[in-house]
Chain A
Amino acid sequence: SQQGEEDPQALSIQEGENATMNCSYKTSINNLQWYRQNSGRGLVHLILIRSNEREKHSGRLRVTLDTSKKSSSLLITASRAADTASYFCATVPVNDYKLSFGAGTTVTVRA
């Protein structure tokens, strides 16, 4: 079942700007992941953060996790037109393996 809620639903930024999106969830988790989907195609795994981690970096991506608030954020720095996509957070509950996806944020990067 869908657990996460993301905001904003949509985001439009200029190339070179940073994009920030947030994800909230309801139950205790093992880890939280972010995926990207281009134009209704398959999902690409971006980054995973475990429940005992607070921040993680991968290239231009920065993810934070606050388990006390049950929330996470994804920051994309120095955005490019190729970053235009939908971004989904997905949680893995404790003692489970199934991914539960958030509603997604659609990011448009204007050249």
Chain B
Amino acid sequence: SAVISQKPSRDICQRGTSLTIQCQVDSQVTMMFWYRQQPGQSLTLIATANQGSEATYESGFVIDKFPISRPNLTFSTLTVSNMSPEDSSIYLCSVEGDRGLDTQYFGPGTRLTVL
């Protein structure tokens, strides 16, 4: 199984600022995913990030607010821009599993609090 790390693990930010979250995988993967989990809620897919192409965003999420980079097959970043308290969530990255897209492996998450 893939080992995924995220940085930072948590942060407290002021409204109006931006935070970039890093996701590093110990093996090369084609597809990476970014999810948001609002307090007490389930996971919602933000976007799918493939290396060498623009990320594909889900309904309700836009590139200006959540720009994503995918410079190689082991790394991706998600930026939360111009933050407001409503952006306080856990942000998780995931990658396709060993059997392709049947399963996903998740990173430990980044807990973001916006004041």
Is A1's beta carbon under 8 Å from chain B? yes
- In this complex, which of B43, B59, B94, B109 has the most chain A Cβ atoms within 10 angstroms of its Cβ? B43
In angstroms, Cα B59 to Cα A1, docked, is 8
Interface readout for B1-40 with A: 1 if CB under 8 Å, 0 if not?
A: 0001000000000000000000000000001010001000
In angstroms, Cα B97 to Cα A42, docked, is 15
Interface of B is mostly: strand
Q: Give the interface size bracket for B toward A.
A: 20 to 34
Choice from A31, A48, A99, A104 contacting B45 with Cβ under 8 Å: A99
A2 touches B42 (CB 8 A): yes
Question: Number of contacting residues on A, CB 8 A?
Answer: 22
CB neighbours (8 Å) of A100 from chain B are: 45
In angstroms, Cα B107 to Cα A44, docked, is 9
Q: Nearest residue in A to B101 (C-beta to C-beta)?
A: A97
Residues of B within 8 A of A (CB): 4, 31, 33, 37, 41-45, 48, 58-59, 90, 92, 94, 97, 101-109, 111
